[in-house]
Amino acid sequence: MANEIYIDYASGNTLYAVVRNSAGEVWYVGGQVFEAWGTGGHAMDDYDISLTDKSGSRYVGNFDANIPAGRYSVQVFLQAGANPADGDSLIGSSEVVWSGVGEVTADKLLANKAVQNKSTGEIRYYDDDGQTVLLTHTPTDVEATITRTPS
């Protein structure tokens, strides 16, 4: 997928994002792993995901497809110097629920294609392309309860 990271900010600046997991660890782009800030001497320049100025005060960037499914915090920084630095100013943050292949939103789950296998009960929810599965769950019916197990 693309452009899951976005922020509105005055055009003509240099912005970048970092992704953090629920433990507060940061995504180390080069190592493709979450780690504590500063592990191995890493700094902001090792964690940054560049954002593209699309004009009209909109910046976009891609969520790394190697990040496992989960809920993540995205922080966006204004780059002051030639490279991302630990002292750059935080200008915004958001949350992304990531399926491992795309962002999961209520709009996508409600408006896009969903297919249920009548034999197993498994329901697959698809992204905008109608091909990429964002979420799969299988409800079970036991007396007065229904259990949903996301995969």
Query: What does the radius of gyration of the chain's CA atoms come to, in whole angstroms?
Result: 18
**Number of C-beta neighbours around residue 122 at 10 A:** 14
**pLDDT (tens digit per residue) in 126-147:** 877 778 787 788 877 666 666 6
pLDDT of 131 reads 80
Instruction: Determine the residue type at 40.
Output: G
**pLDDT (tens digit per residue) in 84-141:** 999 999 999 999 888 887 777 766 667 778 888 888 888 888 877 778 787 788 877 6
pTM of the full structure: 0.73
Q: Does residue 1 surpass a pLDDT of 60?
A: no
Question: Number of H helices and number of E strands within the chain?
Answer: 2, 14
Domain architecture of the chain: domains with CATH: 5-98 (2.60.40), 106-147 (no CATH)
